[in-house]
A = this chain, B = another copy of it.
Amino acid sequence: MRIAQDSKDLPGKWYNIIPDLDFDIPLPMGSSGYPLSYHDLEPVASSALIDQELERNIQEVSIPREVAAIYSDWRPTPLYRAEKLEQSLGTPAHIFYKYEGVSPSGGHEMNTAVPQAYYATLDEGVKRLVTATANGEWGISLAIACNYFGIQCKIYMVRSSYDQKVHGRYAMEMLGAEVVPSPSDKTGAGKKILSQDSNSPGSLGIALSEAFEEARSRDDTKFSWGTVMNHVLLHQTVIGLEARLQLRRADAKPDIIISSVGGGSAFGGLIFPFYKERDQEIKMIAVETAAAPSLSNGRYAYDYGDAEGLSPLLKMYTLGHSFVPPGIRAGGLRYHGISPLISALYREKQIEARSYTQRQVIAAATDFARAEGMIPSPECSYAVRAVLDEALDCKQKKKSKNIFFLMDASSNFDLAAFRDFVDEVVEDQPSLDKEVQTALSQLPEVPAH
């Protein structure tokens, strides 16, 4: 059941959580061990985005008129109450979810792609954005946004996805983006990997290294992050800001808020506005894949965002930048680290983390699809598993709670995943302890000052 929607729920400002935290968010650092300044970041990032990344005092950032006009093409996104699911579970809990799948790309990534493309037009001489993508959800979003503002778009796509998940590649190319399989022989980082393994399937970390290198080497090109960074989470707060108003209208204060986490941008955008205004305890659960359990099994340390150490060092829960997660359907959750903001909240015990294997999420996703008539994306299925666990816990304890979660994308862009659900062919990976230990032993040594 859709909660009544009102175009006035679209906020005029994004919410920067940092001033409201009573602990520090460590700054990005260079390998020299000094915090990076505006000027250090300038060669790769748009100036407005650097300001947003480093901002520690201003709580609200106005959404530019040009961005708001595009947001309003699909925002506010709908909020649903999953009554049919509640009934099928026989739970006294009330389950709500916000659905970001109505965006032009079918996912929440549009929320940051649009402002990033817009801000690129404000920097003199900038004509191109370069980024990295795995399955293509982020690349498609950035390609669409670049078209809106007449910016060129170059995308390094993980080679195994480029070869297998061809729909993502073709969609980006149809949208006019230049798509290069990574590792490529176009960059030093790519050549280095290929010299070690000419058949390398690539990884998001490698693709990020190639994109960084290109952004550094060209004055007309800036790098674009799809997740992890503060400014990306800032843009994603439109999700939580809208949801807060929508839930208020439904007279439902959330007791539990749940989202899957890959880099952490959807989760952050969802919970920050609730974190600020909570007048009661809210359990906030970040759900990871057991194939890349950064919060659950990682170390809180400065590490690189990419495989080759070209990105800034970020203080985050990480499995080590050399860790390559096993192949799972939920490609959006395959990343070695997690947003510094989410990492700090976890460090301070403000949020909880939980991880599931692929096999554990299959039944939950199927239950949800049959009750609600909407098939969750592979990534969102992890959140759905946690939602069902919490709802069944309410049933057992005969206690009603408001459970609110994020459906961050439509399922449509990763249909091959359905085969796993139906045939239950999923093999859960064996323990990753050894791989994680190896990668953690390769964390960069950062000089102390």
Contact = CB atoms under 8 A, between A and B. Distances in A.
A359 interface: no
A357 interface: no
A283 interface: no
A1 interface: yes
Interface string A174-190: 11100000000000000
A345 interface: no
B72 A2 contact: yes
Contacts of A412: 106, 410, 412-413, 415
Contacts of A174: 365-366, 369, 375, 418, 421-422
Interface in A67-111: 69, 72-74, 78, 80, 84, 102, 104, 106
A38 interface: no
Nearest to A171: B418
Interface string A106-137: 10000000000000000000000000000000
What is the count of identical protomers in the complex? 2
Contact of A373 (B78, B148, B370, B374): B148
Given A173-B422, A422-B170, A5 B2 contact: no
Contact of A7 (B5, B147, B369, B371): B5
A216 interface: no
A175 B144 contact: no
Main secondary structure of the interface of A (DSSP, over half): helix
A69 B2 CA distance: 9
Contacts of A354: none
Contacts of A74: 2, 78
Contact of A104 (B72, B166, B167, B374): B374
A21 interface: no
Contact of A415 (B5, B80, B102, B413): B413
8 contacts: A1-B72, A2-B72, A106-B412, A167-B416, A170-B415, A170-B418, A170-B422, A412-B412
Interface of A: 1-2, 4-5, 7, 69, 72-74, 78, 80, 84, 102, 104, 106, 144-145, 147-148, 166-167, 170-171, 173-176, 365-366, 369-371, 373-375, 410, 412-413, 415-416, 418-419, 421-422
